[in-house]
């Protein structure tokens, strides 16, 4: 059995109403499957299709939080691949996994879910989609080391904050479900959440531009943590 390395960082485990992976969801079509910015998604996918098919590299996968990260610069590795798409949701990531899997990444860092919560998609649905993403990678690119990262906190008190993302409690609950997905799939769960909090348990003001998206200082901390924990 693979070693499961978990950065707990104060993660509290709760008994949730659904056991993801044992009771698999049905009728998921009733939930929104569209990204927030469909036009941007199309453009990003076109860019991805034009890039060389470099295999065996580190790949970051997710939404605008991932897209905004200067990963190559901060890691010092110009071959790092950024597969973040602003506005994307877990279902959207699942539908574009062919291109990711074709690249056979050495390491895959996945963060997804905050846009889903902004659309009122239940945490259990998010977790089930993430489970499917992980299963595909494990089946079709078994040498890829998978790192499932927690959803980050938000700060609704920052000017310009999009209020439909004021889902602090739902983020915590969804992170519990994602933790269980990681444990069941025997992949590494990285709980970044507590390291981005201020004294009031919200996203630190110096770490964000609008209460949701991240500043450079936040990305620097993120990469430093991954380095410190031996994941990069």
Q: What is the pLDDT of residue 37?
A: 67
Distance between CA atoms of 167 and 174, rounded to whole angstroms?
10
Give the tens place of pLDDT for each residue, 187-214. 999 999 999 999 999 999 999 999 999 9
Distance between CA atoms of 36 and 28, rounded to whole angstroms?
18
CA distances (Å), origin 148, targets 7, 46, 51, 127, 143: 11, 26, 25, 11, 16
84-95 average pLDDT score: 95
Q: What is the pLDDT of residue 36?
A: 61
CA distances (Å), origin 96, targets 53, 109, 112: 15, 15, 13
157-172 average pLDDT score: 93
Classify domain 31-228 by CATH number: 3.40.50.1110
Distance between CA atoms of 57 and 43, rounded to whole angstroms?
23
Contact 153, 196 (CB under 8 A): yes
Q: What is the pLDDT of residue 163?
A: 86
Contact 92, 35 (CB under 8 A): yes
């Amino acid at each position: 059995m693979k070693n499961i390395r978990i950065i707990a960082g104060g993660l509290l485990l709760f008994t949730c109403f659904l056991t993801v992976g044992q009771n698999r969801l049905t009728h998921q079509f009733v939930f929104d499957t569209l990204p927030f910015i469909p036009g941007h998604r199309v453009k990003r996918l076109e860019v991805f299709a034009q890039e060389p098919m470099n295999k065996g590299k580190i790949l970051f996968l997710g939404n605008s939080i991932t897209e905004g990260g200067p990963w190559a610069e901060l890691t010092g590795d110009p071959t790092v691949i950024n597969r973040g798409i602003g506005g994307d949701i877990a279902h959207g990531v699942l539908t574009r996994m062919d291109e990711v899997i074709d690249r056979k990444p050495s390491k895959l860092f996945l963060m997804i879910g905050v846009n889903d919560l902004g659309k009122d998609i239940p945490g259990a649905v998010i977790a089930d989609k993430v489970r499917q993403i992980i299963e595909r990678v494990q089946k079709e690119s078994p040498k890829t080391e998978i790192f499932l990262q927690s959803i980050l906190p938000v700060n609704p008190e920052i000017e310009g904050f999009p209020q439909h993302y004021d889902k602090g409690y739902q983020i915590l609950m969804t992170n519990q479900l994602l933790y269980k997905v990681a444990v069941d799939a025997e992949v590494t769960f990285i709980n970044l959440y507590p390291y981005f909090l201020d004294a009031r348990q919200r996203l630190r003001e110096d770490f964000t531009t609008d209460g949701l998206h991240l500043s450079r200082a936040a990305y620097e901390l993120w990469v430093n943590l991954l380095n410190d924990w031996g994941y990069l």
